[in-house]
Amino acid sequence: MGSSTIKDGPGSVPVTNLRFATRVRQLTHFLQSRLQFAAVIGPRDRKGRLPLLGWQFSCMGGKQFMAQSTIPMRNLGRHNVQISALGFGGHHLGDAPEATAIRMVREAIDGGITFFDNCWEYHRGKTEDWMGKGLKGIRDRVFLMTKVRTHGRDKDLAMRMLDESLRRLQTDHLDLWQIHGVAFDNDPDLFAPKGGAAEALDQAKKQGKVRFVGFTGHKDPGIHLKMLKTGYPFDAVQMPLNAFDASFHSFEQIVLPELNRRGIAPLGMKPLNGHGDAIKFGALSAEEALRYAMSLPVTTTITGIDKPEALQQNLRIAQGFTPMTSQEMQALRERVRQYATDGRFELYKLSLKFDNPEARLAHQLPLDMKQPEVQEMLGSSQNTGYPYPSLKQ
């Protein structure tokens, strides 16, 4: 079978030769770029291989092309590892249909997102399961984090939770493993004792199942400071950071400076206040909210994504990201302060509604039986034939 030709100008070039030459040039350029940025491009896998991260092959219309991410990359605190300034939040992934969730994970990577957030108990394991399916075959292109919730329960339970997370995520290691939801006054005291969660973090690192460790929480900046005072060498700390936080029980004002002073990676979350209620109200736009959070001195800003439209909106903002000036940030703080000082758009700092039932059970506290997470917990015991019963009636 002969080669067709393209006629353009005085000569003709065989199509097969032209395509081959183009692919060779693309591959050569790609390999040169990887070598140039090898020192800073981000996490390596356990065998020392560099992930693709910002330089990646994508498929569109049956043609393979090279795409360069324009999302900024930032250091993980004191470590010479870089991750994308926008992170993919795992909880909302469980609100999408399974096929859509898997597709969004892969599209996010193609768009330049390298940081992926999850947690052992999100939707009873559903989000880890679906994220693992989305990352299958491309795990080494991302910086993968999930969380564990112990709240005073022992190291052995934490290690069992870790093994479950690894199985669901279809990986043999995490880039970051964090203690989830430090929200009760005695949580720092329960973290450090012998046989507790601190020893689980150490053991996981020694076994090579985890590269870095940290903790998260969204309730009280004072509890975050108390966790830091335990003296444990955390690599990362996650907390809510947005324009409203600056005026109410502020993690930005109280915790963020201390993390940067210690070289601990600050991970921002809830840039849109959890469910976007302030945006729906009209206090600010989604772009203003996300730009403000990304303009803070943080490693990444993690935002929940439950539908393709939300993903594309966030990618558009992050790929064209221009930091706010200090004057713009202050003007936005002042503009929303009238809605911020009573916490109406930050109920995760105040309400039982945002307490995870796993934490409340560990602390022997009553549950809100109408809470979606509790309904999921109850439904998981029903023999429906499906691993994740729907809450829809």
Phi-psi region of 4 (alpha: psi -120 to 50; beta: other; left: phi over 0): beta
Residue burial 9-37, b: 16+ Cβ < 10 Å; e: rest = eeeeeeeeeeeeeeeeeeeeebeeebeeb
pLDDT tens, residue by residue, 310-351? 999 999 999 989 999 999 999 999 999 999 999 999 999 997
* Helix, strand, coil fractions of the chain, as percent rounded to 5: 45, 15, 40
Query: Which residues have CB under 8 Å from 84's CB, separation 6+?
Result: 69, 71, 72, 73, 74, 112, 113, 114, 115, 300, 318
pLDDT tens, residue by residue, 238-278? 999 999 999 999 999 999 999 999 999 999 999 999 889 99
Q: How far is the CA of 113 from the CAs of 34, 45, 163, 249, in angstroms?
A: 17, 17, 25, 30
- The helix/strand/coil state of 237 is strand
Spatial distance between the Cα atoms of 78 and 257, rounded to a whole number of angstroms: 14
pLDDT for residue 50: 41
Share of the chain above pLDDT 90, in %: 65
Q: What residue ranges do the domains of the chain occupy?
A: 73-349
Query: Which residues have CB under 8 Å from 209's CB, separation 6+?
Result: 162, 166, 172, 173, 174, 177
Token pair 């947005």: residue = 242
Reply yes or no on whether the pLDDT at 198 is more than 70. Answer: yes
Instruction: For residue 304, list its beta bridge partners.
Output: 89
Reply yes or no on whether the pLDDT at 232 is more than 60. Answer: yes
Q: What is the mean pLDDT of the chain?
A: 82
Q: Phi/psi of residue 188, each to 5°? A: -60, -35
pLDDT tens, residue by residue, 118-129? 999 888 899 999
- The helix/strand/coil state of 250 is coil
Fold of 73-349: TIM Barrel (3.20.20)
**What is the sign, positive or negative, of the torsion defined by CA atoms of 23, 25, 26, 28?**
positive
Reply yes or no on whether the pLDDT at 84 is more than 90. Answer: yes
Query: Model confidence at 20, in pLDDT bands (50, 70, 90)?
Result: very low
Instruction: For residue 86, list its beta bridge partners.
Output: 301
Spatial distance between the Cα atoms of 166 and 259, rounded to a whole number of angstroms: 28
pLDDT for residue 381: 55
More confident residue, 27 or 122: 122
Share of the chain above pLDDT 70, in %: 74
pLDDT for residue 39: 37
Pairing of strands 63-68, 55-60: antiparallel
Span 132-139, average pLDDT: 98
pLDDT tens, residue by residue, 152-193? 578 999 999 999 999 999 999 999 999 999 988 899 999 988
pLDDT tens, residue by residue, 345-390? 999 999 776 777 676 667 666 667 677 776 776 666 554 545 555 5
Reply yes or no on whether the pLDDT at 12 is more than 50. Answer: no
Cβ neighbours around 333 below 10 Å, total: 17
pTM (2 d.p.): 0.79
